[in-house]
Amino acid sequence: MDHARGHVAMTLTTQVPTTCPGTYPILIAFLAIVAYSEVWSRLAKGWSRRKDLETPNSPRIPIISPLNPPIEEKSLESLPVSRKIERMDQDLEKYKQLYHKLHNLEDYPDILPESRELLLSLLSSTITDALNANEQGILSVERFSRDGLSDFLKAKDVDVTNRWQEYLSRRKAGGSREIVSDKDEAKWWLKQAACVKYVDGAWLGHINKISTPFKYRHITKNAWQVMSEELGDGDLAKNHVHVYRELMKDIEAGLPAANLEDFVHPRQELTETRCWKAALAQLTISLFPHDFLPESLGFNMAYESLPLHLLKTVKELREVRLNPYYFELHISIDNADSGHAAMAMAAVINYIELVAKNDGKEAAHVAWKRVQAGYILAEGLPTTPESPSLRMKPSDTFPRTDTEAALIEIFAAKNVRWSTG
């Protein structure tokens, strides 16, 4: 079926080659930044090296065509405008080509080393951003505990709820939309996000395999169930990728299937680099399920939580009379009580507690840091574009609405009366 062919999570399962090159210890980039000396020592001595995805004792193969880490935002901003545009265009083309090859992995088996290098680079860059951010996020939970993680995620949900109420108050007071401005822009926004939505659930594509160690099976089966539900549990009407394809038909986006080379052609006008980058994070982390199991579980826990922009998107798509079903589906299925958010948290808790039981507290702390790295990777890469009309210049930020302008006039008039009275 065509809908199955286009979903990378359904194709990669049978397309992974039997060898995977390289000998680097995993997560060097992340650990160098976090600078946990005890973690580094443990990594240098014994973490698994790049081997076959399926066979534990496969031969090592030298790295070919390593991918240079993407340029950091600060260095990008320091470039002249012409060079900045050129660099962004180069990154966009690079991401598109890798995206296509990962959808057709049986034809490009040598792409795995490049995919791994990109994954490490993305882990490194998102951790750097998280450490430089004003809010600590998941890093505030320095030491894992079941209650500590639960409290953190509950507080995050409360914060989303509060900000949602603030958003509704702004809109009720006459505030403008904050995701899209009108129907035409909403169609553009939805189309630009297609490269991410067409790989929905792909980060779990290899999480539970015949080569998965038996001691982890009860954990990885939990995560695999999340992926099964992303695919609709056999009901095409609830398959997330299929639902988004139907939405693309509704808005006449004219996009081909994601596995076709035409999907990455410039004529499709899919130009939002950050969307392609987020899609590749989902694809690459799925390729190395044994080496990056804790990162995958952390990524899943972040991605299955309910973000504020999802709630805004549903409301604003309704306002411009476009079908919000894809996004409504996620609000329902990702709930923190019994949905994907709850399942993702349970998988992390069970994993860390299993590591602590089998390998001790030190190993569990290392595992928790790696879960955090995966969580930050998902949190740190926007999966949707920024609408051009809402990129406000500093000089245009206030007044933002007619209501705010009217209030300014009222206060100005009162000020005149007070000064003359």
- For residue range 326-383, what is the model confidence (pLDDT) as tens digits? 999 888 765 666 577 888 999 999 999 999 999 999 999 999 999 999 999 999 999 9
Report CA 189 to chain centroid distance, whole Å: 17
* Statement: residue 261 has pLDDT above 90: yes
Average of per-residue pLDDT across 253-273? 97
Q: Could you tell me if residue 400 is inside a domain? A: no
The packing angle between helices 273-286 and 361-380, to 10°, is: 150
Check: CB of residue 298 under 8 Å from CB of residue 370.
Answer: yes
Total residues belonging to the chain: 421
- pTM: predicted TM-score of the whole model, two decimal places: 0.75
What is the number of structural domains in the chain?
Answer: 1
Q: Could you tell me if residue 401 is inside a domain? A: no
Q: Which of 77-81, 178-182, 332-336, 381-385 has the lowest mean pLDDT?
A: 77-81
Q: Could you tell me if residue 420 is inside a domain? A: no
Whose tokens are 């405008």? That residue is: 81
Beta strands in 208-350 (DSSP E): none
- Domain hosting 258: range is 2-390
Average of per-residue pLDDT across 81-102? 80
Q: Could you tell me if residue 156 is inside a domain? A: yes
Q: Could you tell me if residue 412 is inside a domain? A: no
Whose tokens are 């992303």? That residue is: 230
Tens of pLDDT, residues 4-33: 334 433 333 333 333 333 334 444 445 544
Q: Could you tell me if residue 78 is inside a domain? A: yes
Whose tokens are 């994993």? That residue is: 351
DSSP secondary structure, 130-141, as one string: HHHSSS-GGGG-
Q: Could you tell me if residue 408 is inside a domain? A: no
Average of per-residue pLDDT across 99-115? 96
* Statement: residue 224 has pLDDT above 60: yes
Q: Could you tell me if residue 248 is inside a domain? A: yes
